[in-house]
Amino acid sequence: MNGESITTSHSAAAVAAALSGGEKLRYLLVSLAVLVVDQWTKWLIELHLPHHSAHPIVPGLVNLTHIRNNGVAFGLFATDGGGNPWLLTALGLGALAAVLAYFWLASSRDRVLLVALALVVGGALGNLIDRVASGAVTDFIDVFVGTHHWPAFNVADSAISVGIVLMALDSLRSGRKRKP
């Protein structure tokens, strides 16, 4: 009887873990949506907008542009000579592995964190695909005021940024819950 209760207890824990993982899989649909929209919008830009050209969307504020970024998000660490795309690819893979590990370790009840991590995963995959395929990432959203421009970015960069902000907000919210 004692061995039977241990087996039943382990079985229940295994079922709970499997259900938790299954529940988390639906959050990866967010990652898939980000990846699909990111790759589709980059493909449209590459197909319809000549390199280094701009098309006003909101005059004086937002342009569509076609930039190839061999750096990281928002053009950080970009070089004119192309830099080392394999180093950035390796760093991107490492960061993606860390985020995925955090995703699987997070509680299935922590929905905001799981959505945030899913956004980061989708964005990281979108930019990683570009970097592996061509050594650079297509950026196309140009936000500016007067002559002051934010570095061009894309859907993947936006998803990563929103995911990080949601993670920070979730962390602040969780911190408040723990305080007496």
Q: Where are the alpha helices (DSSP H) in the chain?
A: 2-25, 28-48, 85-105, 111-134, 155-178
Side-chain-side CA neighbours of 2 within 13 Å: the count stands at 0
Q: Is 169 in contact with 94 (CB distance < 8 Å)?
A: no
Residue 121's nearest CA partner among 45, 29, 18 is 29
List 143's β-bridge partners, or say none: 62
Q: Residue 72 corresponds to which tokens in the numbers above?
A: 């990281």
Largest Cα span, the chain: 77
Residues that are catalytic: 139, 157
Residue 100's nearest CA partner among 81, 125, 83 is 125
Q: Residue 176 corresponds to which tokens in the numbers above?
A: 């408040």
